Amino acid sequence: MKSKIVAMLLAASLALAGAAFAVPAGKVIEFNESPMGKVVFDGQIHKDAGVMCKECHNNDMFPRMKQGTVKITMEEIYAGRLCGVCHDGKRAFGTAGNCNRCHVQP
């Protein structure tokens, strides 16, 4: 009985640890609707920076963990919302003048 409880707690801990980071390491999401070129969001880069899911996936930014549920615009980002919360030139590279850091031309 005690070993089953320990095993269940260990399994729950591992599951929570795996869910603690933004887009999982090794996964890349592409946003293809920008006229500036597709935007590639790399989970490994954000994991390496120590970004946790809840930092972005909350009621103020991205409430659902599903692509396309929030319209991301440069106006929002420049205003310090959405990706601009971190990409402000202090915590992470700023977006102004760094278009090709996110937008990939074909």
- Reported as a single tens digit per residue, the pLDDT across 4-24 is 554 444 444 444 443 443 466
More confident residue, 3 or 72: 72
Q: Which residues contact 97 (CB under 8 A, 6 or more apart)?
A: none
Q: Domain total for the chain? A: 1
pTM above 0.95, yes or no: no
- CA 104, CA 45: separation in Å to the nearest integer? 16
C-beta separation of 86 from 51 below 8 A: yes
pLDDT digits (tens, 9 = 90+) for 33-81: 888 899 988 888 888 999 888 898 898 888 887 788 889 999 999 999 9
- The answer to the question of residue 5 being in a domain is no
CATH of the domain at 84: 3.90.10.10
Confidence grade of residue 25 (pLDDT, cut at 50, 70, 90): low
- The answer to the question of residue 15 being in a domain is no
- The answer to the question of residue 13 being in a domain is no
- The answer to the question of residue 9 being in a domain is no
Give the domain range for residue 66: 22-104
- The answer to the question of residue 14 being in a domain is no
CA atoms within 13 A on the CB side of 53: 13
- What does the pLDDT read at residue 85? 94
- The answer to the question of residue 16 being in a domain is no
